[in-house]
Amino acid sequence: MSEFEAYRSLFVAESRENHENLVRNMLILEKGGSQEAIDEIFRSIHTLKGASASMGFMEMERLCHTMEDVFQMIRSGSAVITADLNNLLLACSDIIELMLDDVEGGGDSSSVNPDEQVNALKQWISKGAGKVKVESPKSGVIPAVVPDTIAEIIDETDRPRYIIKLKVADDCVMKDIRAMLAIGNLESLGTILSIHPSREDIDEGRFDGSLVLKIASDVGDDALKSAATGTDIASVEITPAQKDEPVTPLKVSEEIIPAESDKKQQAASQDKTREIKNLRVDITQLDHIMNLVEDLVINRGRLKQIAEQNKIKELDEAISTVDRSVSDLQNLMMNIRMIPLNHIFNRLPRVVRDVAQYDGKEVEFVIEGGETELDRSVMDGLNDPLLHLIRNSVNHGIESPEVREKAGKPRKGFVKLSAHRDRDNVIIELIDDGGGINVEKVKSKAVEKGLVTPENATTMTTEQAIEILFLPGFSTADKISDISGRGVGLDVVRRSIESLKGSIRVETTPGKGSRFELLLPPTMAIVDVMIVRINRRRLAIPISSIVEVADYKTGSTHRIGKSDAILLRDEVLEIFMLDDMMGRSEDRDILIVVQYLKRKCCIAVDLVEGKQEVVVKPLSSIIGNTRGISGITILGDGEVVPVLDVNTMV
């Protein structure tokens, strides 16, 4: 990978964080906001502008530069943000996201044309240009645009002052980015009073590698030198300065040649360089490591089996050590792959805002439990279902302000998205205080589409009517819009959630609102299972689904309707023989009681072999999805065993 490509991936990762911060604070600003939100927006857009200019992504830099001009007016108090302006700025943020997608794909942002947004922003600026006031900078704050001449910032404290002369190595490809990193490191240790060349010059690429700045700081010259020193920094020279001593710009031809003592000090300061505590790792590398860990788990089982067969003491001891190491490695790897749900949740306030504005509704959106973690493999498939449910909740669930007022409700609807852990699972809840699901409308639409007969519709329970919502192509929308009515309904959500080995449950109260509950496994890779035998064939049942193991007597089975059932501890439980899957057996004398949510059933088996930790592999595309089977696992002796999916069975 070339140096430029390495910088590209770093640029995309950091720019996406700044973009997310930009959108989040713009939504805060729309609700009334604060000066803090404006400052956060300005910082994010300024960073995006500088980084894109340094990388040569000029279309993105042009858009960010214009947005920065607008926010400079808002920040200085010479202009006020309006609803129309906020819509325009959010549209600009969408363009920035498209540009980042282009850059991530290997482009330079030029495939996305921002002319429409740039021109609209410039028109807005020109209307308010005569009213712009220049506000003197606050203490310790660098102005948004520093002129080419050196601008001195007043610092009234008695902190020591230093002049720092810094030279970036001639062979550094991205001199401007390296200089901005050094400035950022120094800024965290004190107040930068003046700088040459200006930040804007560095942002625009007018930088020859030499930087001079004056800083007020009480951390000492050693700490400042340590912060400024690093890779691609040829030399750093620090001298004490008087309070009113001006900075003398470094000439282009001037070279700082450190003395021998300075070289030793610089070498020593390398040891004091800030420790890097976080690394960005390509997700494909994590996937590859996870596959290797899974192979270790499979072979660990094989080694245990060999040790049991041969009864070799030394081998047992060695395998016990390997077993602990593999378990620790596996737990560590699982934790590394866990990602907070905020990665998805933080994108959703914008969706709620856009759908509510499109429908002319007022909605308060609350997020809780975003710190709850899920495995990356589960997280990947969760984005679209949540997006659809949020749109559905605002579009179908929340009523218009007028309707809510007539019903005695607040004009503003309430939507809450929360997540929490429950034993080994993660539960995501979406609650709204809207009108609830109109069961009669669902029935009439189902009859209209020929999904049920009028006679069956009249006898349907609420739960059965809700199930119709999950049929392919079903929608209760009266007309097609950008939001709904296109026949892409909750069936897509259910399929997506079930493909993650999860489930979805719906509760509704007419006039009060609805509740959607998603139950998801924290990981889909390595699970604890109980290995059982039916008709001499092995079957794996996830331990997290098993309630108890009980004795089974054939004569205790009763026929109820089309199913067999058994009375166990004053509970009537449906019993499954799994003849279609495993074949018929007459030796079943053990019951495995399993539970999903609050529903229980039991499975009759011949033998329980014991508990194992196994790797669940998905079924191949040739076989396709099989209801009741979540995947397969390979045991230590090489046998391929199906893993039961209790959720779909119950």
Catalytic residues: 46, 68, 392
Strand, coil or helix: 373: strand
DSSP single-letter state for residue 626: B
Look at the chain and count its residues. Answer: 650
CA dihedral 143, 144, 148, 153 (to 10 degrees): 10
Burial (0-12, 13-18, 19+ Cβ within 10 Å), 82: exposed
Q: State the Cα–Cα distance between residues 267 and 271, nearest whole angstrom.
A: 7
70, 62 contact by CB (below 8 A): no
Q: The dihedral of CA 472, 476, 477, 480: what is its sign?
A: positive
CA angle 499, 500, 505 (to 5 degrees): 90
CB 380 within 8 A of CB 500: no
- Residue whose C-alpha is closest to residue 522's, from 425, 609, 454: 425
DSSP lists the bridge partners of residue 643 as: 540, 631
CA atoms within 13 A on the CB side of 381: 20
- CA 558 to chain CA centroid, Å, is 50
- Quick one: DSSP state of residue 617? B
Residue 95 · residue 114 · CB < 8 Å: yes
Tokens 């000492």 sit at which residue? 220
Q: What single-letter amino acid sits at 457?
A: A
The whole-angstrom distance between residue 357's C-alpha and the CA centroid of its chain comes to 25
Residue 259 CA, chain-centre distance (Å), reads: 50
Joined together, the tokens standing for residue 82 give 């309006």
Q: Return the structure tokens found at 140.
A: 């310790």
How many CA within 13 A on the CB side of residue 251?
3
